[in-house]
Each structure stands twice: as C-alpha cells, then as structure tokens.
Amino acid sequence: MSRSLDKSLLTLVRKLRRPTRPFSTQDIHFQSSVGYRISATLLTPQTKGPVPAVVMCPGSTHDRSVFFNNSAPIQARELAEM
C-alpha cells in the first residue's frame, strides 16, 4: 500500500510542477582507459553562463534509461529543469 501511495503522490507532484527552464539533450559516448565504451545522456539548460552539474550513475543492474522513466524517484529531466 505504501509503495502505491508513494507512486501516486509522485505522479501528482510531477503533474503539478511546471518546468522552470528549457534544456537540450545530447547522447554522448567516450572510451574508458581500459577500452570500455561508455554511453551517457547530457542534458544542458539553455541559459547563458556557468551552471551547476550533476552526474547520475545507475547501479550495475540498470542502464541510463532508469533516469528517464516515470517510476524513478527523480528524473534527469527534472534536475535539468531546476
């Protein structure tokens, strides 16, 4: 019951909260020093001047898409809008 209530409240908050800044999205890729290809999504606010940054890393059982689905406690889009 508690989990479904949390999910319902999260959905409601997301509907009521309005975006504060527009942002752009870009897929980026780079090679680690041992040869692994690392893929990421860069969300950049469309403002002038320096902005704070956040790096979100999923656990070993997820990929970056975990930060873009509605069941996540916070989404990458929500952080970029702030």
Q: Which two tokens stand for residue 61?
A: 């059982």
- The answer, yes or no, to whether residue 1 has pLDDT greater than 60, is no
- The answer, yes or no, to whether residue 2 has pLDDT greater than 70, is no
Instruction: Determine the pLDDT at residue 9.
Output: 72
State how far the alpha carbon of 42 is from the alpha carbons of 10, 12, 23, 55, 67, in Å: 24, 27, 10, 9, 12
Mean pLDDT across 38-54: 83
| Best CA proximity match to 76, nearest among 43, 51, 53 | 43
- The answer, yes or no, to whether residue 14 has pLDDT greater than 70, is no
| Best CA proximity match to 64, nearest among 31, 30, 34, 27 | 27
